[in-house]
């Protein structure tokens, strides 16, 4: 790693001006050192701001918690709520294989909980009714961020019933069926504990969508699905109108 000082030793000198007759490199060196000090100051203010924002978020997370619990009780009365909601989401819908959908028929509730202690820790818990696929009632995937921003991932190790393990491909050859579900099943995502591809401080896309889109307002997607079915034709028409218009009035909702 080069320090700011080392960087200062190789400036572009063509239109640079030294200060007070000092050698050009020394003047530049001083400026870059000063800049680094100011940057450190800004970083400190940003850290303080981040902590204050986190405080606010934790406070409201506590306020939301009992409301989410009440919401889950109501959702359980709506048949296939989470299956419909997942299928209606443009990205999550793509992720659910046929097998996933059969398993999601047994998904009773979802819970997303942000931890109070660490800077960013989020667990997603899926609760299932008795089902022919695995023994577990609850499956939990947790993302924890260490102080340096590194994310680590823990998941329940699913106890698949015999011949039902769709993640590790053990059912793939049954009945001559060659489907390989390893890359694109919800349960492959769920079982993936590898955090090496994660950007510092960020969860993967699926976890992020569940936490930031599905969990805050699942009804939006649940309702969306049926809208699409009904109004597909009109939608196409109005899209074309908007394109021709080009007045900058429409927003990208996709």
Q: Quick one: tokens of 188? A: 């492959």
Residue 133: exposure state from Cβ atoms within 10 A (0-12, 13-18, ≥19): buried
Identify whether the C-beta of residue 8 lies closer than 8 Å to the C-beta of residue 25.
yes
Count of residues near a copy of itself by CB under 8 A: 74
Binding mask of the shown chain, residues 158 to 187, with x at each position contacting a copy of itself by CB under 8 A: ------------------------------
Residue 77 vs 178, nearer CB to a copy of itself: 77
Among 20, 21, 23, 74, binds a copy of itself (CB under 8 A): 74
* Residue 120 engages a copy of itself in binding (rule: CB under 8 A): no
Among 25, 68, 101, 114, binds a copy of itself (CB under 8 A): 68
The H-or-E segment that residue 171 falls in is: none
Residue 91 vs 226, nearer CB to a copy of itself: 226
How many angstroms separate the CA atoms of 140 and 203, rounded? 15
- Smallest distance, Å, CB 176 to a copy of itself? 30
How many angstroms separate the CA atoms of 28 and 18, rounded? 8
Angle 81-88/218-245 helices, nearest 10 degrees?
20
Subset of residues 83 to 102 that bind a copy of itself, contact rule: CB under 8 A: 84
Burial letters for 148-176: b for 16+ Cβ neighbours within 10 Å, e otherwise? eeebebebbebebeeebbbbeeebeeeee
Subset of residues 25 to 44 that bind a copy of itself, contact rule: CB under 8 A: 27-28, 31-32, 34-36, 38-39, 41-43
- Smallest distance, Å, CB 252 to a copy of itself? 5
* Residue 150 engages a copy of itself in binding (rule: CB under 8 A): yes
Identify whether the C-beta of residue 75 lies closer than 8 Å to the C-beta of residue 109.
yes
Among 227, 235, 238, 239, binds a copy of itself (CB under 8 A): 227
Among 20, 21, 70, 130, binds a copy of itself (CB under 8 A): 70
DSSP 8-state secondary structure symbol assigned to residue 134: B
* Residue 49 engages a copy of itself in binding (rule: CB under 8 A): yes
- Which of the ranges 96-104, 156-164, 181-189, 214-222 carries the binding residues for a copy of itself, by CB under 8 A? 214-222
Binding mask of the shown chain, residues 182 to 211, with x at each position contacting a copy of itself by CB under 8 A: ------------xxxxxxx-----------
How many angstroms separate the CA atoms of 189 and 184, rounded? 8
Angle at 239 between CA 235 and CA 244, to 5 degrees: 155
């Amino acid at each position: 790693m080069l320090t700011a000082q080392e960087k200062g030793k190789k400036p572009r000198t063509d239109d640079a001006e030294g200060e007070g007759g000092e050698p050009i490199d020394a003047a530049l060196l001083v400026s870059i050192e000063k800049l680094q000090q100011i940057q450190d100051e800004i970083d400190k203010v940003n850290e303080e701001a981040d902590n204050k924002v986190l405080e606010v978020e934790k406070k409201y997370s506590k306020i939301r918690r009992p409301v989410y619990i009440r919401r889950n009780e109501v959702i359980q009365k709506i048949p296939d709520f989470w299956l419909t909601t997942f299928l209606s989401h443009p990205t999550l819908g793509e992720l659910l294989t046929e097998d996933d959908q059969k398993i999601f028929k047994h998904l009773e509730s979802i819970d997303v909980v942000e931890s109070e202690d660490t800077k960013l820790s989020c667990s997603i818990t899926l609760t299932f009714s008795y089902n022919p696929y695995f023994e577990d009632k609850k499956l939990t995937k947790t993302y924890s961020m260490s102080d340096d921003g590194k994310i680590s991932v823990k998941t329940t190790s699913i106890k698949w019933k015999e011949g039902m393990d769709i993640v590790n491909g053990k059912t793939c050859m049954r009945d001559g069926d060659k489907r390989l579900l390893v890359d694109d099943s919800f349960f492959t995502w769920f079982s993936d504990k590898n955090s090496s591809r994660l950007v510092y401080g960020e969860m993967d896309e699926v976890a992020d969508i569940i936490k930031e889109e599905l969990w805050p307002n699942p009804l939006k997607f649940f309702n969306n699905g049926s809208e699409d079915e009904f109004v597909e034709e009109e939608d196409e028409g109005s899209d074309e109108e908007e394109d021709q218009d080009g007045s900058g009035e429409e927003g990208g909702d996709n």
